[in-house]
Amino acid sequence: MKKIYSVIDVGTNNVLLLIASKTDGNLEILRQASYTSALGKNMRDNLLSFDAIERTRKILDKVISDSRKFTDNIIVIGTSCSREAENIHLLSDWLREKHKLKFNIISGEREAYLNGLANFYEFPFLKKIMLFDVGGGSTEFTFIAEKQILENISLEIGIRRFHDKFSNDFDKIAKETKKILSETRFPEFEEISLIGIGGTVTSLATIKNGLRKYDGTIVHKSVLTKEEIDAFLQKFRYSTDSQISELMPFEPLRADIIICGTIIVKEIIDYFSADKIFVSDRGLQFGVLKLEETELREML
């Protein structure tokens, strides 16, 4: 039986829209889009700013309106920023009252698990996998081996979080990332393959391929080497925001945080002693659509 769902991921920096039809577990993407909301920008004392809430509401108005052209099965999910914000009710109450939608705020471990579901069958040629999803407020790690999701870890390593805290002090961003990684107990990772999810790695892959418009069919399952990421970081450090925006016309508003994200990705690669990463554009939204229908109904 064919059913159409819209899954809206309200992240710390972006609102992601995925509209897809689901038939016997198989997905067909009908619409996919990303909008920069910067919900977590200038978040102080665990309180979202009024401007950030207003930006996010306007984007949600648009993506919900677009979604209703396809379906009434709309699932809205909140992640790191929504977990921490003490005034997140200003968004969740608004969603319920204006759009009659439930705001599903999930834990970091649940987020990592959904990333695992999304990518479980995407890379059958890799035996042991560590997925990492660098987000605005947190980074999720999912360890997959022997066709099982074995461990889910969420760390307070986030692009918007670090950008707000350290601004453009690149050394402090690198040092803090190293510190958190070194204090974390990861599973044994000999001969493990890294797969990166999230806006930073997909943006780098898009730039690498010289695309003026994002194309998931090219980005998904592509490869970024350690040398390429190091080269991107050097180039970004000596470029202005406008010059970086020109490199990424597909999402120019990410220009102010792409350096921070690239530093985090570099530190993760160095920590796991990897020489390359595979890129996935299958985030938690795809994982949501892998859930059983009973679980999906509970989220509507």
Please report whether residue 232 resides in a domain.
yes
Strand partners, 105: 78
Q: Are residues 56 and 164 in the same domain?
A: no
Q: Are residues 78 and 120 in the same domain?
A: no
Q: Are residues 94 and 137 in the same domain?
A: no
Question: What CATH number should be reported for the domain holding residue 249?
Answer: 3.30.420.150
Q: Is 125 left (phi over 0), alpha (psi -120 to 50) or beta?
A: alpha
Q: How many domains does the chain have?
A: 2
Model pTM score: 0.94
User: In what order do the strands lie in the sheet containing 139-145?
Assistant: 148-155, 139-145, 128-134, 193-197, 276-280, 223-225
Contacts made by residues 26-30, CB under 8 angstroms, sequence distance 24+ = 27/286, 27/289, 29/216, 30/4, 30/70
Report the chain's C-alpha Rg in angstroms: 18
Residue 153 pLDDT greater than 90, yes or no: yes
pLDDT at position 190, please? 79
Residue 33 pLDDT greater than 80, yes or no: yes
Closest CA to 32 of 259, 282, 254, 268: 282
Amino acid at 164: D
* Whole-angstrom distance, CA of residue 143 vs CA of residue 187: 8
Q: Are residues 121 and 24 in the same domain?
A: no
Question: What CATH number should be reported for the domain holding residue 54?
Answer: 3.30.420.40
pLDDT, tens digit, 9 for 90 and up, residues 91-105: 999 999 999 999 999
Q: Are residues 70 and 192 in the same domain?
A: no
Structure tokens at 113: 């698990």
pLDDT, tens digit, 9 for 90 and up, residues 198-228: 999 999 999 999 999 999 999 999 999 999 9
Please report whether residue 269 resides in a domain.
yes
User: How sure is the predictor about 26, in pLDDT bands with cuts at 50, 70 and 90?
Assistant: confident
pLDDT at position 194, please? 97
Q: Are residues 124 and 244 in the same domain?
A: yes
Residues 6+ apart with CB under 8 A from 50: none
Please report whether residue 285 resides in a domain.
no
Please report whether residue 262 resides in a domain.
yes
* Whole-angstrom distance, CA of residue 218 vs CA of residue 209: 8
What is the domain range of residue 164?
108-280
pLDDT, tens digit, 9 for 90 and up, residues 239-297: 998 999 999 988 887 888 999 999 999 999 999 999 999 999 999 999 999 999 999 99
Q: Are residues 99 and 126 in the same domain?
A: no
Please report whether residue 288 resides in a domain.
no
